[in-house]
Amino acid sequence: MKKIITKKLLENLYWNKKLTQKEIANKLNTRQNRISFLMKKFNIPRKEKIKYCCIDCGKDIYCNKHYKRCHSCENKRRYKFGILNNKKENNGSWKGGKPKCVDCGKQLSAYKHKRCKLHRNKFYSMKGRNNPRFGKSPAWKIINYNNFNFRSSWEANFAKWCDLSGIKW
């Protein structure tokens, strides 16, 4: 059997005991959207948002909690100190603004990149010196048979079988 929620009960919990809609829902074992629906149905006014001022620009902020800065000033501060998305600056070519390509100085759209699309493709192409395996020995073991180098033991064994069978390879 469901507990009957009256207007008087909701007003008492919301205004006198100063509980949020979520806390009221938990207390009455119901969903928050039901409490919200009933408050609208019973014409219970919501708590007014309090007016604060931004400490940087002085713009008015209307909110339930006290914030020191408005949304735009907070974002500027986060970008300036590299707080946004828990990322630091990607390179030393920008301070507070958008990052720039380290090769040509073109402004980038993403904070995670160091190079523009043109230079990123050139820098990360897998040819020649840009290949990460350049100058390193191959990852596979080279097998020498009859002064021929093979990349795998299967190839070397196949060459031995061809020699034993008299097949020229």
Per-residue pLDDT of 21-56, as tens digits, reads 889 999 998 999 999 899 889 888 877 666 677 888
Beta bridge partners of 107: 100
Overall pTM surpassing 0.75 (yes/no): no
Q: If you average pLDDT over residues 98-126, what whole number do you get?
A: 77
Q: The domain containing residue 153 runs over which residues? A: 140-169
Cβ-based neighbour number of residue 42 at 10 Å: 14
Q: Would you say residue 1 lies in a domain? A: no
Q: 127 and 102 share a domain?
A: yes
Counting the structural domains of the chain, the total is 4
Residue 158 predicted with pLDDT over 80: yes
Q: 149 and 169 share a domain?
A: yes
Amino acid code (one letter) for 141: K
Residue 141 predicted with pLDDT over 60: yes
Mean pLDDT of the chain: 78
Q: Would you say residue 97 lies in a domain? A: yes
Q: 97 and 127 share a domain?
A: yes
Radius of gyration, alpha carbons of the chain: 34
Which tens digit of pLDDT belongs to each residue from 106-118? 888 777 777 888 8
